[in-house]
Chains A and B, each alone.
Chain A
Amino acid sequence: MKYLKTRRFTILILLVITTISLSFNSCDELIKNKDKEKQEQEQKNKSITNNKNEAKLLLMLSKDNHEVIKLSKTLQQIITKDSIADLVKTIEKTHINIAKEFSEVASDKLISIPNYTEVTMQQTIDHDNLNYKIQTLKKLRAKIDNQLYLLEKLSKTTNSKDFQNILSETDSKINKSLNKADNILNNLNTNS
């Protein structure tokens, strides 16, 4: 009977411990689950916002890139000096390449961006007007500069390492384009 008494006591203790453990565990599990759910939802919302921002920035960048290509093409028509025209051509090529890269990335990242082939030429009004050239070049420079700002912002927004690498490469390319644009602008200002 003593054994039974001890056994009964042991079973009671075990039951109490099990109940407490289960209660704690289940409560803990519930809290954890709730926290996890909340975290997941937050993560999801964050990802969506991030994706949206990424798409928005890439679209803007892409549009600016198209503007750069379009302005390059315009400048090529109005600049007569070969050395400068070559420089502008280089800028155009660079940005066409960038557009291609953007197009690939956008396709992979499910982002709709305009195709560089959509770029249409603007009819030049005054070919020989230096002021127009300078204004167009300044516009080009401003677009490239804006691209750099957008690139930096996009680089901060995206979580993808690959994309960041591409953006980094693009950044250096665009910086070069900016230098080139600055050179052309200096050249034009000097000649004027």
Chain B
Amino acid sequence: MIKTLSNNISFLRAMLYISALVILVVGALTYRSVTEVTKSSEMITHTYKVNVELEQILSYLKDAETGQRGYIITNDSVFLEPYLSARNRINNSFAELKVLTKNTPQLKSKLIDVNTLINKRLIAFKTSYRSLPKKDIEDPNFKSNFRNGKTLMDSIRDQIKGVIKLQNNLLNKRSDEYRSDLMATPLLLFSLLLCSLILIYLAYNSIYKNIKRLKIANEELEIFKESTNQSEIVSKHGSWTWDQNNDVFTFSDNLYRLLGEQPQSFEPTIQNFMQYVHPEDVEQLSQQVENMKKNVELPYIYYRVVHKNGNIKHLKAYGKSIINDEEETVLLGTTADITDEIISFRALEERNLELERNNQELSSFNYVASHDLQEPLRKIQTFLSRLEDEEAEKLSDRGTRYIDRIQNAATRMRLLIDDLLQFSRSNKADKVFEESNINLLLEAAKQDLAEVISAEDAVITSDAFPSMTVIPFQIQQLFVNLLGNAIKYKSEKRSPVINITHQVIEADNDPQITKPTKPFYHKITFTDNGIGFDNEYADQIFVLFSRLHNKDEYSGTGIGLSICKKIIENHKGHIIAKGKPSIGATFIIYLPID
């Protein structure tokens, strides 16, 4: 989202620059075009002015000619006025033309020729009416002069026409230029304005999309902000930021609440915050704040604050520095109220201690009871044995049967006491972990069971084990129990075959390991071909005194697998059992690798 917006901002910036450039170009071209048009217009006006002045000169001459004729006809000097004023008027027109043709030498030379002809024509006027004797217009001399005047007038007219033609050509050329300017200018302006419009539309489109996106993002942010506020209230924590460059803090509303104050009720500064810190923690916290300012990191810190009503709250804070978009380092921190946790922890600690004490007492009791029970049992068995040896003949059949039953019960009780003793031993605190050779421990276990193995013709195969850090006598006991269990619950149809495998596994790759404490585990698998069991009893078999079979079918106390579980728990490992009735059982042990 930020990346898209950033890209769009770049796009808009580019659009802005391009638009500005286009507008500048449009402005420059418009200025140039308008200047050109103005210039063209001025040139056309100039040409018209020249033509008008030339026409004026011709007109003055015509007036003079008309006046002369009027004078010849009427002999009234009033008609001579246009002739007499002609030169002045012509000079005025020439004065204008001189300025207008200042930059056109070709035109000037033509005008000099016109002026010469005009002078001649004006002389011819005078000559002709002076040569008129007594109103005799038929006089050949007068006629000749008059014709000469006409010739001169024609020459002037031609010359002026020539100049006007030259001017008209120039005018046409300028008109064409003016027209092409007029044609090109709107086309160019329109094209450029069209470009600008397209750019504006693109920019608008982009802005619209951005605004839409921003609106959605804002709504999401609002929801997020509200949910953060709520979660801060519910989870009793507040957040804060520290702008390192400007040394400015911001506190969230709930941080004020954690201090027992209303949101934003005081200026968020470290000095104001320190006023709430428990006097015993002020020094330590100040030191940590100084470190935070130096290292721009804040490790987990614990301190207490005192509310105005005297309540003491335990707080935990943590900060992490981030670099924002403006390349400024900002420390983001959270502060949590852990008062309830502390109280719970303390209660838990007390209960744990109590539990430990109870366990210890129970273990001691178990041990002592088991140990002390052996003595009377031994006596019972001894006296039963003497009774059998010495008084057997005196006993009736019923008495003998009763003694047998007592004997059996005493044996079972002995077994039970032995197992309980063993179980209590596995609970005892003297757990010394040693780097041990597991192969030797397995061999020792096999030796312990050598008689049974031999009697049942059991086959035990195993992988070679690496050395492990374990409590050796407990692991040996574990092996004894598991091997003994496999042989005890053998199938009637086949000799027991027990296979023991080992592998090192990664905790994350084995779903059987719940809540692993170490990344790698030893996995030891005991597989047998005994009677097996239904998997629904997989957990039950590890419960103390739990038995799946009647004591008449299989002897036992139901303590063996509980001891196994206890041993594995002592090693912070896991044990699971899987079984298939009539096919066999599998016990998998996971022991963590340090």
Question: Which A positions have Cβ atoms within 8 angstroms of B?
Answer: 1-5, 15, 44, 47-48, 51-52, 54-56, 59, 106-115, 117-118, 120
Contact = CB atoms under 8 A, between A and B. Distances in A.
A110 B326 contact: no
A48 B116 CA distance: 21
20 contacts: A3-B327, A5-B326, A47-B98, A47-B99, A48-B95, A51-B95, A51-B99, A55-B92, A56-B91, A59-B87, A59-B91, A108-B112, A109-B98, A110-B108, A111-B91, A112-B87, A112-B115, A112-B119, A112-B122, A114-B87
B17 to A, nearest CB: 9
A110 B97 contact: yes
A3 to B, nearest CB: 8
Interface in B47-104: 87-88, 90-92, 94-99
B324 interface: yes
Contact of A52 (B91, B111, B119, B123): B91
A111 B92 CA distance: 9
Given A48-B95, A59-B87, A110 B111 contact: yes
Given A2-B326, A106-B115, 5 more contacts: A54-B95, A59-B91, A110-B98, A111-B94, A112-B122
B94 A55 contact: yes
Interface residues of B, number: 28
B578 to A, nearest CB: 60
Contacts of A111: 91, 94, 115
Contact of A118 (B90, B115, B123): B123
B98 A51 contact: yes
Contacts, number: 74
Contacts of B96: 48, 51
A55 B91 contact: yes
B39 to A, nearest CB: 12
A109 B98 CA distance: 8
A3 B327 CA distance: 9
Given A112-B118, A112-B119, A52 B108 contact: no
A120 B92 CA distance: 27
Contacts of A114: 87, 119, 122-123
A107 B326 contact: no
| Residue from A2, A55, A107 having most chain B Cβ neighbours under 10 A | A55
B99 to A, nearest CB: 5
A118 B95 contact: no
Contacts of A56: 88, 91
B126 interface: yes
Contacts of A54: 95
Given A2-B326, A117-B123, A107 B115 contact: yes
Contacts of A4: 326
Given A1-B324, A2-B327, A59 B88 contact: yes
A120 B130 contact: yes
A54 B116 CA distance: 18
Nearest to B130: A120
| Residue from B90, B94, B95, B122 having most chain A Cβ neighbours under 10 A | B95
A5 B90 CA distance: 74
A111 B99 CA distance: 13
* 10 closest cross-chain pairs (CB), A and B: A51-B95, A55-B91, A1-B326, A52-B95, A110-B94, A1-B327, A47-B99, A1-B325, A2-B327, A112-B87
B491 to A, nearest CB: 77
Contacts of A109: 98
B328 interface: yes
Contacts of B116: 107
B48 to A, nearest CB: 15
Contact of A112 (B90, B98, B325, B328): B90
Contacts of A115: 119, 123
A135 B580 CA distance: 169
A32 B96 CA distance: 26
A98 B206 CA distance: 86
Contacts of B94: 51, 55, 110-112
B424 to A, nearest CB: 69
B551 to A, nearest CB: 80
Nearest to B120: A115
A153 to B, nearest CB: 16
A2 B118 contact: no
A117 B120 CA distance: 11
A112 B126 contact: no
Contacts of A113: 87, 119
A35 B424 CA distance: 118
Nearest to A5: B326
A48 B99 contact: yes
Nearest to A4: B326
Contacts of B123: 114-115, 117-118
Contacts of B88: 55-56, 59
A56 B93 CA distance: 12
Nearest to B116: A107
B126 A118 contact: yes
Given A44-B99, A56-B91, A112-B87, A2 B122 contact: no
A47 B97 CA distance: 11
A51 B108 CA distance: 15
Interface string B116-154: 101100110010001000000000000000000000000
Contacts of B111: 110
Contacts of B99: 44, 47-48, 51
Contacts of A1: 324-328
Contacts of A47: 98-99
Contacts of A15: 20
Contacts of B108: 110
